[in-house]
Structure 1
């Protein structure tokens, strides 16, 4: 049975890490978890504690790593749900379902007397679906502002200074031109004309207005789109960060978690992998928008289904729920994998686990893997499993 919602006691976790000879970090594959792992890895690096980071996309994959024999002084930190032996002294789990893993990691890092990078921490919180500076993250935003690492301006939250590049590949929005650089350039022709170095607040404001109008005026757009695009406007700029804005940083973390996890871990540790990360992010964004635009669709009571031939299913489900779905939940089904995303707050961990069990009962040979988090669920299965079976299981249990 997987465990969700149990985190290590602060004192015991701190003592375990301080005395560890080697630390294994095993993390789920999303931007929030990458940021959490990066903060912890950086703290271990500061203390010269050897470590290894592994990104594992399913509960079963993480559990297998946890139960791999280790040396006596090894400690394992799991970011996400996994099958963990209760009260195991050598395993620390960060898996509270209603709190970003990044905040769990921030607490642990501070207990180790290390100051977490506030920009990376805030990017992880944004990737989790949270708002920077809200609730527990208020002090992080304040610290970043006081250090000159964060400031707010008009515009759209993208990772690049070039608005054409940033908007074409962003998965924080979905417009008629998304995923197509030439179409994006044409759409921005009236407002992007000149040297980017000369851009001022009025230019950024004009771009934001155009983007918002194109998003909410698109065919098949839903009422939720206006609220979602609003969260991508008035971005926090990160003058000394690897990317132009905090929201853009979060978008790249999400992308690399899916397509280039090793690069994503290095990025979350503050290493200079910007160009490699952007390459993965561009391809991730392009495939997401093409798949969402070209995929087959079906509508059920409470569920919108997108069938795709190619593309990152989790991003398709997330962007679809935010901009295209007339229902509160989206199921994106690809070849051997599927994802669920919802607009409602709350963990999908229990739901996606129940779906996985249902599929396993119906098709024991399907080799179903799963993972769940805030507003997201992920499934892996044998490609021979029919889409109809998956839809039926999700409809019954969602």
Structure 2
């Protein structure tokens, strides 16, 4: 049994620093998202600076347990462990940066800000981190798109911050940009034109889409860093956490060009997978819930599908994405999706796993159905249990 304090489900910076300061070993369990991944990098760098041994694991359906003995289990982006920074009240990366300061270590503010944007918050929500970033490197807000690379075709085709014309399809984007006259190396006026076009095209479905598209517009550019913009860095971290968590952890802990290339590859692959899954989804509308049935059963990918569907396609405030043995949900409000997902999993698999928060949830479960009819009945039970628990 850990000798750390009883589980603190939403620790403040002082709690985290006090617990980590004398820990002989720290086991970090992070949710598979860009905010939690950035937070794990911030705290891992602080622990390394203090010569404290640690391990970082990223899981799309995390279940952090308290550590044994004097070791400490720290949950990031989810509750559990000995203490947690779940990211509900504020981005996990903001709490991690504050804890690092309490430990006497100055974190990389760009990494932490990337986590803030991955959490869906604007950079301006973390003014102290923005001030620190401004002191350390060139950072400026400019027209254009919040993407990790300087190539506008690659950026628009592979962004998971927006769903618009050509999402997941570089050739379609290339043709659209050619029609607009946007060159491969755009100037300020070209970036402004591209952003204006995307704002119109992506916001057409709904008011919610018009609000969501703001995440990818008017970015904070970081020309001296390995990623072109702060939010683009956050998007790449989010994709890496879901596609190649080991690579994502390596980049978050120790910035290197080779790792950066692998993270960008993960970002491209993730975007193609999630936009393709959403394009091919079978959908159904219920009172308050929009359901999308997809073939891809990766829980990390499903969470991105759920978020994009919620923001750009769903007429309902809550989206449930279901595959054969996995599911994910996203909501615009604090609807207790973690509890609803847990109830849905119990309805089909007593040994299934789920995780989440008030606005997101993921799950893994076994498909024990013997035939197609039995499988459809099981999916119907899952959906009904989820809706009933909201």
Q: TM-score, normalised by structure 1?
A: 0.87
> Quick one: distance in 1 between partners of 2:7 and 2:94?
16
Task: Say if 2:92 is the partner of 1:101.
Answer: yes
Shift of 1:378: 0.9
The more displaced of 3-12 and 49-58 is 3-12
- Residue 96 to residue 148, structure 1, CA distance change in 2 (3 Å): closer
Per the alignment, residue 308 of structure 1 pairs with 294
- Cα distance, 1:352–1:22 mapped onto 2, change above 3 Å: closer
Match of 2:148 among 159, 174, 183: 159
User: Partners in 2 of 1:9 and 1:234 — Cα distance?
Assistant: 32
Q: Please report how far the alpha carbon of residue 146 of structure 1 lies from its aligned counterpart in structure 2 after TM superposition.
A: 3.3
Q: Say which of 129, 148, 167 aligns to 1:140.
A: 129
Q: Which runs of 5+ in 1 are unaligned?
A: 85-90
Please name the residue that 1:79 is paired with: 76
Q: From 99, 110, 127, give the equivalent of 2:118.
A: 127
Q: Is the 8 A contact 1:33 1:80 kept in 2?
A: yes
Question: Are 2:35 and 2:93, in contact at CA under 8 Å, matched by a contact in 1?
Answer: yes
Q: Give 1:48's aligned residue.
A: 51
Structure 2 counterpart of 1:180, from 157, 164, 169: 169
Q: Report if the CA contact (8 A) 2:345-2:363 is conserved.
A: no
In structure 2, the CA distance between the partners of 1:301 and 1:22, relative to structure 1 (3 Å rule), is same
What is the CA–CA distance in structure 1 between the aligned matches of 2:213 and 2:224, rounded to whole Å? Answer: 25
**Deviation string, structure 1 residues 227-272 (Cα, Å, up to 9, x no partner):** 1112321111112222111111111111111111111112222421
Q: How does 1:254-333 map to 2 (within 5 A)?
A: 254-272=238-256, 273-310=259-296, 312-333=301-322
Cα distance in 2 for partners of 1:233, 1:80 equals 25
Whole-angstrom distance in 1 between the partners of 2:353 and 2:16: 29
Aligned to 2:225: 241
Report the alpha carbon displacement of residue 351 of structure 1 after superposing the two structures with TM: 3.3
Aligned residue pairs: how many? 372
* Corresponding residue of 1:170: 159
Offset, 1:143: 2.0
How far apart are the structure 2 equivalents of 1:195 and 1:166? 11
Q: Are the structure 2 counterparts of residues 96 and 245 from structure 1 closer, same or farther at C-alpha, using a change threshold of 3 Å?
A: closer
2: distance between equivalents of 1:308 and 1:335?
8
Assess if the C-alpha contact under 8 Å between 2:338 and 2:357 holds in 1.
no
Q: What is the rounded CA distance, in whole Å, between the counterparts of 1:56 and 1:302 in structure 2?
A: 29
2:178 aligns to what? Answer: 189
In 1, Cα distance between equivalents of 2:201 and 2:189? 18
Q: How large is the RMSD of aligned CA atoms in angstroms?
A: 2.2
Contact 1:5-1:97 at 8 Å conserved across structures:
no
Secondary structure, aligned partner of 1:146: helix
Q: Tell me the equivalent position of 2:3.
A: none
Task: Note the C-alpha offset of 1:34.
Answer: 0.6
1:200 to 187, 192, 202: 187
